[in-house]
Amino acid sequence: MDFLAYAMGTGGQGGTGGEGSGFGAFIPLILMFAIFYFLLIRPQQKKAKAHKQLLASIKKGDRVVSSGGLHGVVTGLTDDVVTMEIAPKVRVKVSRGSIAGIIGREQP
């Protein structure tokens, strides 16, 4: 049982143990969070903000592409649904959030 007492001992450090482990232990965590923020979180937020502005700027007559790959001209808009004409007299309704981008504006 003496080995248990030696294992629980201070190991010759004088019993103070964690003198320098205050703020210094958190520096790597803070640096890791900063790297994740600038390389992952911030660009994702910028991309989401740009996509939100793109969805707000859609108008009738815009040529758009959906995230599923459908290309068409916007013929109707509501708050949540975009009606696209993908061929003459063929109209589909897609969610506004599934619009991936605006290709161009249709000339009247």
Q: What is the pLDDT of residues 17-62, one digit of tens each?
A: 555 577 888 899 999 999 999 999 999 999 999 999 999 999 999 9
Q: What is the percent of the chain where pLDDT is above 70?
A: 77
Q: What would the CATH number be for the domain defined by 59-108?
A: 2.30.30.60
Q: Concatenate the DSSP letters of all residues of 45-68 into one string.
A: HHHHHHHHHHHHT--TTEEEEETT
pTM of the prediction? 0.67
Q: Where are the domains of the chain?
A: 27-56, 59-108
> In angstroms, rounded to a whole number, what is the distance separating the alpha carbons of residues 108 and 49?
30
